[in-house]
Structure 1
Amino acid sequence: MRGIVIAILTFFSMLLAVAAGAQSAERWAELPAFPSMPVAKTSGMADVNDIKMYYAEYGEGEPILFIHGGLGNADVWGHQVADFAKDHRVIVADSRGHGRSTRSQQPFGYDLMTSDYIALLDYRKIDKVTLVGWSDGGIIGIDMAMKHPEKLTRVIAQAANVTTDGVKDDVLKNKTFRHYIEVAGDQYRKLSPTPTEYEAFSRKMFEMWATQPAWTAAELAKISVPVTLAIGDHDEAVKLDHTEMMAKDIPGAKLVILKDASHFAMLQDPTGYDAMIRDAMAGR
């Protein structure tokens, strides 16, 4: 009898182990909550172009600018800020119309948002940064690499695309991505100076996404700063073959596939994500 009991307990232990392994292997299917942000060393609203742009800084050392994705805000970077502020000057900001930043009547566009970040760096008297961009933030990083390479030490772009056909047709049917849009709306209503305008704001963003970006291989070939392109192996939005094409068209670009991660890798695997950034900064 004792042997039967031990066998049964062993069997159920194996089942639990398998279930736990399956759950951990599917972290890419979940959207973790945005982490708490550390206390900022300084923060404020910068007069940038025709808007007021929220920014915050943490730590000291070589500067790193983290740029969030579309519909989101700077608070997505809580894990990364806590890590990199230990040995770097970390800058985060809300892109125009996002989070705490205001927007104007100008149509959204990547060139315009890139010019906002250039103006913010000048406002904070920062000559050069390592730019880490996620999704739209990565696209802004690539735009900056083409048009303002003098402001960059390197670009680390995760889940970026350079043409509209780099985005998967069924992205809005994906439950994790739909959940993100809902969370982004909740945060917009809490943070924005225009809290009732999320639908109007998101509609303007979707209009931009319908036609931008639209860069050619010849334009990408002119990039001279070091570029790392990262993408989760389960990205809901950006096609892997599109990212591989980008890595071929951008001179010297390095491609990194983030294991068991999706479009939201910085939240799903912060330890691995931060290691990817440090490897890129070290030239590995």
Structure 2
Amino acid sequence: MSYADVNGMNLYYEIHGTGRPLVLLHGGLGSGEMFGPNLDALAASRQVIVPDLQGHGRTADIDRPLDVRLMGDDIAALIDHLGLDRPDLVGYSLGAGVAMQVAFNHPEKVGRLVAVSAGISRDATYPEILEQQGQVGAAAAEFMKETPMWELYNRVAPHPEDFPKLLDKIGQSMAKDFDYTEQVRALSVPTMIVAGDADMWPVSHFTEVFKLLDGGLRDGGWQGENRPKGGHALAILPGVTHYSMGTSPLLPVVTLEFLKES
């Protein structure tokens, strides 16, 4: 349990297990603890570095927006701080957005990328989810105090009274339009897209993302010779929603299978 001074922030991180390094990034309003037993499953064969992103968990917020691009730079700086040699990145939801930014902007620092439950364009999100996201802000703090997310934040955050500010920043971030189609198309890092079969975006969105990575365009061949040229992959997990993904026992299985090539 340590802190790294990166980009004007005291970034909390933990290291579990031994082996080839893997940086594991949590979802919004969470921390590394949200992976539950999956953290142990990954750490059984890998050295897993688990940061708490800006304003989350044990990492205090700083005076800047919650922006996946900036948080991606934080993780790139953490990789340098720890002297890691092209670790694999596994990110879930918000953490997947951050992990993708590292791969977009700092590909030389990344081995393989697993992007879990993260769409690449805002307009692909289900309309009812966009409506719910529009209600996230400081005014929802009292309601959120009935949730496990508040319980975790209240237990570990250095300044629990900042929870309404975090909700405001999360809400402002989700209200911004984004489309990373061209960045995904240009990815040079072997990438696996993972989604639940009842995720926050339609399954069809994730298959379109896979197409950007040269996937789903032809038969793979008897020996896999026609699989996507960049070593990319797609996993749709059955019976999994956006909210159960982090603790689904299927997640470490597909993740470690993809990463065994690294």
Q: Do they superpose with TM above 0.5?
A: yes
1:44-193 equivalences under 5 Å are 44-171=2-129, 182-193=147-158
Q: Which residue of 2 aligns with 1:11?
A: none
Output the aligned Cα RMSD: 2.1
The alignment status of 1:264 with 2:243, answered yes or no, reads yes
Contact 1:68 1:76 in 2 (8 A): yes
Q: Tell me how far apart the structure 1 counterparts of residues 184 and 76 of structure 2 sit (CA, whole Å).
A: 20
How many angstroms does 1:240 deviate by?
Answer: 1.9
| Cα 1:179/1:201, change in 2 over 3 Å | closer
Q: Tell me how far apart the structure 2 counterparts of residues 77 and 83 of structure 1 sit (CA, whole Å).
A: 10
Q: Tell me how far apart the structure 1 counterparts of residues 207 and 146 of structure 2 sit (CA, whole Å).
A: 27
Q: Tell me how far apart the structure 1 counterparts of residues 259 and 125 of structure 2 sit (CA, whole Å).
A: 27
Q: Which residue of 1 aligns with 2:167?
A: 202
The alignment status of 1:229 with 2:193, answered yes or no, reads yes
Contact 2:35 2:247 in 1 (8 A): no
Equivalent AA in structure 2 for residue 228 of structure 1: M
Q: Tell me how far apart the structure 1 counterparts of residues 117 and 256 of structure 2 sit (CA, whole Å).
A: 18
How many angstroms does 1:261 deviate by?
Answer: 0.7
Equivalent AA in structure 1 for residue 182 of structure 2: A
Name segments (4+ residues, structure 1) moved above 4 Å: 178-181
The alignment status of 1:242 with 2:200, answered yes or no, reads no
**Local SS of the residue matching 2:198:** coil
1:28-47 equivalences under 5 Å are 43-47=1-5
| Cα 1:280/1:56, change in 2 over 3 Å | same
**Local SS of the residue matching 1:120:** helix
Contact 1:71 1:181 in 2 (8 A): no
How many angstroms does 1:212 deviate by?
Answer: 4.8
Contact 1:161 1:213 in 2 (8 A): no
**Local SS of the residue matching 2:147:** helix
Q: Structure 1, unaligned stretches of length 5 or more?
A: 1-42
Q: Tell me how far apart the structure 1 counterparts of residues 248 and 15 of structure 2 sit (CA, whole Å).
A: 23
| Cα 1:180/1:69, change in 2 over 3 Å | farther
Q: Which structure has the bigger radius of gyration? A: 1
Count of aligned positions: 235
**Local SS of the residue matching 2:112:** strand
Q: What percent identity do the matched residue pairs reach?
A: 28
TM-score by length of 2: 0.83
Contact 1:110 1:212 in 2 (8 A): no
Contact 2:31 2:53 in 1 (8 A): yes
Larger % of helix: which? 1
Equivalent AA in structure 2 for residue 65 of structure 1: V
Contact 2:196 2:245 in 1 (8 A): no
| Cα 1:58/1:268, change in 2 over 3 Å | closer
